[in-house]
Structure 1
Amino acid sequence: MSSPVDGPAPGEAPPRRRRGWALDTRPLAIPAYRRLFAGVTVTMLGQQMTLVAVPFQVYAITGSSFLVGVTSVVALVPLVVFGLLGGAIADAMDRRRLMLITSVGAAVTSALLAVQAGLGMDNLAVLWVLTAFVSAFSAVNQPTRSAAIPAVVGTELVPAANALAMTVRQIGVIAGPLLAGVLIGQGELFLTYVVDAVGFAAAVWLVRGLPPLPVAGAAGRVRIGSAVRGVLDGFVFLRTQPVLLMTFVVDIIAMLFAWPQAVFPQLAATEFSGDANSLGWLYAGISIGSLVMGLTSGWVSRVDRQGAVVLGAIAVWGVAIIGFGLAGSLWFAVLCLAVAGAGDMVSAVLRSSMLQLAAPDDMRGRMQGVFIVVVAGGPRLGDLRAGALASAFGVSVAMWTGGVVIVVAMAVVAVAVPSFWLFRASRAARTI
């Protein structure tokens, strides 16, 4: 079993296992993890603000919702490409160094976004190029941070470390757009981007204080050809690991058949048109549930049968989406979305932990790279499915049918892939 960086000295008793529902904060006792966690904290708010500022600026420049949609593709393509390549790079060089490089790149790019806004350039091509660079740096940085967690905290604390990071991300998802809306409403687009740049600058300082995080057996030098081969090797490895493969498959099923955001505008304009700010509540529903679950996730870090709980959490997501599809009031719809978000939070924490525990160190970066691609791409496919079915048969049918498919699919996975259903974190940890 790996030992945490800056953790207990040899012979020292490990931290006593916490009980109860409160968020497990034991990883914060490890100095190196505190730096990783602080890095997520200081960057998440600004990243979410930029996700609001860029579409706003594109629409202000062009007046075209179509070009706002194209901007999402501009961000998605480098996210997919560099998510995969970045994972391979993270398995071939010191992860502290790679986090430092990508944090500097993100800070510079965010600063350039602020400059173009401050100068009033109104140049779509410049905005798209900078957006692509921001997405590329993030796509490399995120899997690198995730792949480093087991070496930093030790295998026992991996789920708790993931729950902490994902909880603070949910706070950013809620607070970032709200703060961006206030600043943009006051004509402070420049300051909106500045917050992102300052956050990444702080992350650079935090990463510099980390110890080296080399990968066992890695050459330490990266070439494009070797990175591409590394991606292919990662997929070959994934084909031989049904447990790891299913962590991606079950998430794709959940997002493809029940991601609901595409139907929010229609519901706000029709079913819930009498409720003020119904659109805002619908968009906030999933994040509210995820945040509440994150704050009460102490039990998640003690889960041993992680595969079974993942399938159960995704089934809860499916049942909640069935309720959302049949909801007759805004508040019941928001409640169902919050329950779905809670299930998704449990699933995300445990799936990420399974990837970190069941994959060898020299494959963790690539597995986290695929994780980033799946998390980014699945909801977009889900939007396409939900939008098409809602247009043809109505929102209710689009949602409740998808929820039924998910519940049935999780039962099929449990029977068809027993290694996933029976996966235990304790057994995986003993093999590392």
Structure 2
Amino acid sequence: MTHHETQPVRHRRLVDLAPLRTNPAFARLWIGGLISGIGAQMSIVAVGLQIYAMTRSTFAVGLVGGIALLPMVVAGLWGGMIADVLDRRRVLIVAALVGWSSTLGLVALSTWDAVLTSHGHAHAQVWPLYVVTTLNAVAATVSNATRGAVVGRIVPPDMISRATALNGISFGAMLTVGPAVAGVLAASVGLPWTFAADAVLFSAGFIGIWTLPALPRLGERVEAGWGVLTEGLRFLRTAPNIRMSFIVDIVAMTFGRPYVLFPALGATVVGGGPLTVGALTAAGAAGTILTSLFSGPVARVHRHGLAIARAITVFGGFVLLFGVVTLAMGASHHVPAPGWGGIHWTALILLGIALAGMGAADEVSSIFRQSMIIQAAPDEMRGRLQGVFVVVVTGGPRIGDMYVGLFALAAAAWCPPLFGGVMIIGLIALLTRVQRSFRDYDARDPTP
């Protein structure tokens, strides 16, 4: 909440739909982003399956994130800068078209590999997949940075936390429906059709962007360049609370991302192959969407920093649980078989519970981190700060993917989550003790 609010917030448990009912532009952007995001998550899962099928290497799957990391950092900072300089609607349109083109590239590459293997040849080379997925990640980074800044313009200040909770529902639905559908499509009609479905669903997101009003820069015109970018970074140095919100998320995403293990778990530990990959990914999203559905109380929470710290600590506990279950499964010497009949259901359920808890805790953290950035930063800085935010929330997981891939290669699949859970809990306790202002942050008097 901000000092602009004068009306008391009615107590409620379920999510508040007021931002959708009262703001058609936000509603169209939200619905379009939900539908196209489901397709994007389908492609993310399908890329992992495609590369694992071509290489049989978890490390190769993790490289998808590692290779895209530096371009995403540049895209987040640069994209946030142009969102503060140019019309934000136009930036979204260009980013969406680039993302759609890269999805068509995935369709072509997957189809070519299927043709080769169906004729008895070796798999195609994997490096073109890395190139196309990096281009897709860059487009998504620019788009997400700009979307965050758009919300601050089209949604009233008193509805910011409720709007970010609604964004959590869409994100949770993406991660629930997209991976589940991807697993079914990959197992039934193949990976090329899975990528093609993403290309079709893109159109809904484009309509939501196209129908936005013009969103030019407020205030005096400035030219995009290094000076504008460094101005944003200088502001961040004087904004300890926003800066700490980035740091604690990097900790969580670096040490709490077991997703690149899923293809190997489905093939060698739990069983079920692509079906298990889809089910595990959807389990994490189920926690996200349930939290968002019951997000009514967020409008009454003012100590955002304290809420973030507690949520990430709980997140670390569930990461630790994931590692314990994976260790126990490795010790049981379970021999998996393809299809539903070969799945070790006890392990799948326990891993699903751990992932659902991680998704729920991460969503609580995300709601308050996004609200803090939008409320505490001036509009002319929101694009650049959202760019940094997107670099963190998308780049952090890719660092985590590399960490898990290397650690699993050097030791065993259970090592990264087991060690990671302990690190998250310990580092959050240390960081929030060092910077007390973050724990004391009050949304009724937001200070960056």
| TM-score normalised by the chain length of structure 2 | 0.80
Flag the 1:220–1:326 CA change in 2: closer, same or farther, 3 A: same
Match of 1:318 in 2: 316
Flag the 1:42–1:220 CA change in 2: closer, same or farther, 3 A: farther
For 2:274 and 2:390, the matched residues in 1 are separated by: 35
Match of 1:296 in 2: 294
Displacement of 1:336 in angstroms is: 3.0
1:415 maps to amino acid: R
Match of 1:49 in 2: 42
2:372 maps to amino acid: M
What are the equivalent positions in structure 2 for 1:204-219 lying under 5 Å apart?
A: 204-217=206-219, 219=221
For 1:230 and 1:240, the matched residues in 2 are separated by: 16
Unaligned runs of 5+ in 2: 117-123, 329-345
CA contact (8 A) 2:34 2:205 kept: no
What are the equivalent positions in structure 2 for 1:64-213 lying under 5 Å apart?
A: 65=57, 68-114=61-107, 127-187=129-189, 189-213=191-215
Flag the 1:221–1:208 CA change in 2: closer, same or farther, 3 A: farther
1:37 maps to amino acid: W
The alignment status of 1:343 with 2:355, answered yes or no, reads no
**What's the secondary structure of 2:421's corresponding residue?**
helix
For 2:243 and 2:20, the matched residues in 1 are separated by: 30
Match of 1:23 in 2: 15
* RMSD (Å) for aligned C-alpha atoms: 3.6
CA contact (8 A) 1:3 1:154 kept: no
CA contact (8 A) 2:92 2:143 kept: yes
Match of 1:231 in 2: 229
For each residue in 1:89-142, what CA deviation from the matched residue of structure 2 results, as whole angstroms up to 9, or x when unmatched?
111111112112222333344345445666769676655443333222211111
For 1:46 and 1:145, the matched residues in 2 are separated by: 18
Moved more, 412-421 or 212-221: 212-221
CA contact (8 A) 1:414 1:421 kept: yes
The alignment status of 1:361 with 2:361, answered yes or no, reads no
For 1:269 and 1:311, the matched residues in 2 are separated by: 36
Displacement of 1:72 in angstroms is: 3.9
For 2:274 and 2:383, the matched residues in 1 are separated by: 44
1:52 maps to amino acid: V
CA contact (8 A) 1:322 1:404 kept: yes
**What's the secondary structure of 1:427's corresponding residue?**
coil
For each residue in 1:211-254, what CA deviation from the matched residue of structure 2 results, as whole angstroms up to 9, or x when unmatched?
121222352654xxx0x443333222211111011011111122
**What's the secondary structure of 1:426's corresponding residue?**
coil
Match of 1:243 in 2: 241
Displacement of 1:274 in angstroms is: 11
Flag the 1:203–1:384 CA change in 2: closer, same or farther, 3 A: closer
Flag the 1:204–1:302 CA change in 2: closer, same or farther, 3 A: same
For 2:153 and 2:301, the matched residues in 1 are separated by: 20
Flag the 1:336–1:81 CA change in 2: closer, same or farther, 3 A: same
**What's the secondary structure of 2:85's corresponding residue?**
coil
1:410 maps to amino acid: I
The alignment status of 1:34 with 2:27, answered yes or no, reads yes
Moved more, 173-182 or 186-195: 186-195
Flag the 1:262–1:207 CA change in 2: closer, same or farther, 3 A: closer
Moved more, 157-166 or 371-380: 371-380
**What's the secondary structure of 2:444's corresponding residue?**
helix
CA contact (8 A) 2:96 2:143 kept: yes
Match of 1:7 in 2: none
Displacement of 1:402 in angstroms is: 3.6
| TM-score normalised by the chain length of structure 1 | 0.82
Displacement of 1:390 in angstroms is: 6.1
Match of 1:10 in 2: none
